[in-house]
Amino acid sequence: MSRSRPGAFLGGFMLLAAFSGATIGMAKIVTTLYAIEIGARPWQLGVISAMEALGMVLLTLPAGFVIARYGARRVYFLASLGPLLLNLAIPMFGGWLWLAAARLLIGLCIPFRIVAMNSAFLRQLPRIGNDKAGWYRGALTLGMGLLGPALGNALGGRLGFATAFVIIGLCFGLMAAYSLGFWEQEGASAAPVNAAPGGTGTATLLAQVRGMLAHAEIAECCVIELLSGATGALFGTFIILLALEVAGLTQDQAVSLVMIQGLAAVLGLFGLGYLVERSGRRAAYLASLVTALLGLGLLGRAHGYAWLAAGGVLLSTAAALAHLVNMAQLGEHPEDKSKLSGLFNLAGMLGSFSGALLGGVISQWVGLENLFLAWIPVLLLTVLGCGWLRLRRAVPLVPQEP
């Protein structure tokens, strides 16, 4: 990976991110459709989705420190082999419990891939410009929200689920091979620059995490990423089931809702960066919250295809605005980018885990048709709690724009 040529870095990086996103998007759609095919109930579907997020939660933070020490190249390669083998094994067994267990094991591998790419992008962001802060997630979402769902729906419907999982596994193998030529070999120079004295054990890791969270801008970015991840997981986990069982849409229409949401996310991540830089970060955060509430209201009250699609577009726009601000702030922070990426991605994974799991629980209480409406007070209470903590600290979490 060339560090002296941002343009060359960006081209190769976007290609890898888009292909990675397409593979993840295929896996999500195929897993959801396969779970529905084997008779999984809504709460079981939530557990299956939450298991992958749980695996990511467990290792996302350590992944940042491992990459900071051993380098992205070898870690990314080894972490791609696990999903390769596990996706090949999924069709060999039946039942939703095995599917959940397989997603958990895959989730243990994914953080090393995500943090490797996120930390590389953060290191290059000051060189390529904050107006491109959303380009990495934009390329990832292009694959995850557009290419992946289309391919996953086609593979599962025409070739069967067994073949679909085999193809997904082989895609991880291709990414492992490609990564060997993309990343330069990083050695001991990648060791943590802010390591506390006395070793690299759990106590040291937690001490460094507390030190990073003591910075108000890092803490705020992590909380907002958690909320964004939880809301996104709620949509991604339950929108297909809601479209099929509540709205009475066809499978193609249900999958297209995910694709429309993905398209909106791509356009927002690539197109809103300049606007965020001009309007200010506080205004972008506020606009993100209002847009998310409107999207949840539409998804909860209207079950027609057009209204569900509009709700997904609003949620994507809200997530894009929040992500652009977060990435710009983190890219400007002097903290080691591998460790910072691990913490930031941990917040997102915690959000994905809690969104999927809580969504399954809430749907049992209020019904699938009221799930998105019931999420509005959850979102508002969390935001109000964060505002109350900010007032107690009497420290502005977002720097005032000049």
pLDDT at 109: 93
pLDDT at 197: 42
pLDDT at 165: 94
- Which one, of 154, 41, 177, lies nearest residue 96 by Cα? 41
Task: Write down all domains in the chain, each with its CATH number in brackets.
Answer: 6-186+208-393 (1.20.1250.20)
Contacts of 1-7 with C-beta under 8 Å, sequence gap 24+, read: 1/120, 1/182, 1/183, 1/184, 2/184, 3/123, 3/124, 3/184, 6/124, 6/127, 6/128
* Greatest C-alpha distance within the chain: 60
Strands (E), 118-189: none
pLDDT at 201: 61
CA 30-36-41 angle, to 5 degrees, is: 135
pLDDT at 371: 93
CA 352-353-354 angle, to 5 degrees, is: 95
Full pLDDT tens readout for the chain, 402 residues: 444 466 667 888 888 899 999 999 899 889 988 998 888 888 888 889 888 888 888 887 788 778 878 878 888 999 999 999 999 999 888 789 999 999 999 999 988 998 888 877 877 877 877 777 778 888 888 888 888 888 988 888 788 899 999 999 999 999 999 888 776 543 333 344 444 444 446 667 778 788 888 887 788 888 889 999 999 999 988 998 899 988 889 988 998 998 899 889 889 988 888 888 788 878 888 899 999 999 999 999 888 899 999 999 999 999 999 998 888 888 777 777 777 877 888 888 888 888 888 998 998 899 988 999 999 998 998 888 777 766 666 544 444 444
CB 112 within 8 A of CB 149: no
pLDDT at 400: 44
**Which residue blocks in 129-160 are alpha helix, DSSP H?**
135-141, 148-154
* Per-position b or e across 190-207, b if 16+ CB within 10 A of its CB: bebeebeeeeeeeebbee
Residue tagged 């993840």 (tokens): 24
Alpha carbon of 131 to those of 115, 165, 240, 277: distances in Å? 21, 37, 33, 7
pLDDT at 205: 73
CB 342 within 8 A of CB 205: no
Cα 292 to chain centroid distance, Å, stands at 17
